[in-house]
Amino acid sequence: MSSEIRALEPKELWNKFADLNAVPRPSKKEERVIQFMKDFGQNLGLETIEDEVGNVIIRKPASKGMEDRKPIVMQSHLDMVHQKNNDTVFNFDEQGIEMYVEGDWVKAKGTTLGADNGLGVATIMAILESDTISHPALEALFTIDEETGMTGAKGLKGGLLKGEILLNLDTEEDDEIGVGCAGGVDVTATREYKEEETPEFKIGYTITVKGLQGGHSGMQIHEGLGNANKLMNRLLFDGFEDYGLRISEIDGGSLRNAIPRESNATVAIDAVHEAAFEAEMKAKADELKFEFKTMEPDLEVVVSKTETPEKIMDLGVQEGLTRALYAAWNGVYRMSPDIEGLVETSNNIARVIVKEGHIKIGCLTRSSVESTKQDLANTLRAVFELTGCEVEFSGDYPGWAPNMDSDILKLMVPIYERLNNGEKPHVAACHAGLECGILGTNYPKMDMISFGPNIKGAHSPDERAQISSAQKYWKFVLEILENIPKA
């Protein structure tokens, strides 16, 4: 399996990716990959430091003849999103990613691949190790915790980096040159409720929504993908009036930056409505499958009898919860009026937990305009507070404002066109959280750009990296490095 990946071209890139993917690297548990990267730099005899928050910086002098060029920073994040299929047995804390080749794609067996942002990390490692690639003085910046708070970028102090140009390798379309991105804020609603003993005349059911594609809650939020939390709420809504439905537990979604693929609920209904309930659930499931037949062909709704739960939610809280989840905005809130096709503001209802007297709803709100981000966050806050929840904003990070007069942009566009038979790159801002906006707060004069190879299905077990695109991207990287202008 690893040998299959290591045989791919360019070997420098794929070998380093295979090395990296053998190291467990979940967000907020990056100790092993931090040590791996420090050992890598030190074994090469390069200056290697770990800053106070865990970012790793490796410095390499300019190659011969490149000493008079502007010094650069190449940057990628060490952590990866951990998602797996329900039927996949895998321990992300202990196991390396199991990869395989299918046609023109590298995939993982039932889990996320880690190409986001592992291919960027591997690119930088390959350049650090090479004694034949031409490059100016180079600082490799490997940040931590990008996926769940960007605390690495936030904790990087000003004055530590000396580079004048930053190449962020975290874009996922090989024809795109990124010049801007959205900021984000975590919106979390919580409340406690009283549990009640389930009456004797109730019977229990489990309801499962599964088979959704999931995906990146920024880059794919406009695609019309199903959100398991919203679909589950449609199944539960008005259930009390129709069948005496009472909620015992809900467990939906996982990470804030992943569109939720699955949701599970345990409920109790009046025994007298058993047949009607099952028929109605089947009808609703058929409606959802028809509605999402194009985007979510594998959608399943499974309704099964189970032991009657001992405890159920307070009815008033249940009614408020289902109405709040119906009213809470999910998806695109506003398209950019300035950049055609760009999502400006969105929200992902990522996580819903109802259990043992506690409710927790986690959202990620994104926007390239700070005031609109706050507007949508307040919209969510108002909805959840109306149903008695306490709402907290956390993890706020800024967007990255486009600079169309960037010198590195002016350098890269003609290089791309020359390498690709005159094809023009797509110069764009993206609706995802790149670290450039945060890094720019302490390095406001640094000229920043983002690019990368084709990666599809990031943040989901369908994540895959295109082999031919990696080859195209690698040539682009080498040409950029060789043509960095003089200081």
Q: Which active-site residues does the annotation give?
A: 79, 146
Q: Which pairs with CB-CB distance under 8 Å and at least 24 residues apart come from 329-337?
A: 329/376, 329/379, 329/380, 329/383, 330/227, 330/229, 330/230, 331/221, 331/222, 331/227, 332/221, 332/222, 333/367, 333/372, 333/376, 334/367, 334/372, 336/368, 336/429
- The token duo for 292 is 């999402």
Nearest to 139 by CA among 446, 347, 363: 446
For residue 353, what are the β-bridge partners?
251, 360
Helix axis angle for 228-236 and 274-291, nearest 10°, is 150
Rounded to whole angstroms, how far apart are CA atoms 25 and 82? Answer: 9
Distances (CA, A) of 360 to 39, 148, 320: 40, 17, 14
Tokens 């194009």 correspond to what residue?
294
- 378 CB contacts (<8 Å, ≥6 apart)? none
Q: Give me the helices (H) in 156-214, please.
A: none
Rounded to whole angstroms, how far apart are CA atoms 168 and 12? Answer: 19
Using the CB atoms, write b or e for 283-293: b if 16+ within 10 Å: ebbeebbeebe
Rounded to whole angstroms, how far apart are CA atoms 68 and 426? Answer: 31
Rounded to whole angstroms, how far apart are CA atoms 347 and 378? Answer: 12
For residue 138, what are the β-bridge partners?
60, 72
Instruction: Report the relative pairing of strands 72-77 and 183-192 from DSSP bridges.
Output: unpaired
Our measurement of the distance from residue 95's CA atom to the centroid of its chain's CA atoms, rounded to an integer in Å, reads 20
Distances (CA, A) of 373 to 113, 355, 367, 399, 424: 30, 30, 5, 10, 32
Distances (CA, A) of 451 to 32, 76, 263, 428: 27, 11, 34, 10
Rounded to whole angstroms, how far apart are CA atoms 139 and 125? Answer: 11
**Is the separation of the CB atoms in 361 and 384 below 8 Å?**
yes
